[in-house]
A = this chain, B = another copy of it.
């Protein structure tokens, strides 16, 4: 599934505003992450970027993913399957299928109010929160009752 491609000029301007140079590799890395909703790993992004830049270095991919995440152009999340990147920087939750390993976006609407409810207790100042659901996606439920897979390949 492909999401809308980020408009290059707009991204360029924002990158510049943050003092980031516009290198071919940086732009393509960002485009690759924005062009998928698969919550890709660094290795996945590397494979995709190499289609367009066969000589790109894995280190360059890591370097830029980390930096672009730090600057807010994409999101970085760690879960049991490792570190993944998300071009969708709007607030949303996730559903991970324990059978196929796919990670689906879930509108935050369902969990709105969670933060407010916790904020009042214990003197914690809550700046952010994350909700993760685990279960079986529609496709996997239809395909029969196989039990959850243990070793999920990281794509």
Residue numbers of A with Cβ under 8 A of B are 76-80, 93, 95, 97-98, 104, 106, 110-111, 114-115, 117-118, 121-138, 141
Contacts and interface: CB of A to CB of B under 8 A. Distances in A.
Q: How many copies does the complex hold?
A: 2
A40 to B, nearest CB: 17
A129, A137, A141: residue with the most chain B Cβ atoms closer than 10 Å: A129
Contacts of A126: 95, 133-135
B110 A95 contact: no
Given A131-B130, A132-B130, A138 B123 contact: yes
A137 B132 CA distance: 22
Given A114-B114, A128-B134, 6 more contacts: A110-B114, A123-B137, A129-B132, A130-B130, A130-B132, A131-B131
A138 B122 contact: yes
B125 A135 contact: yes
Nearest to A127: B135
Given A78-B80, A132-B129, A133-B129, A117 B124 contact: no
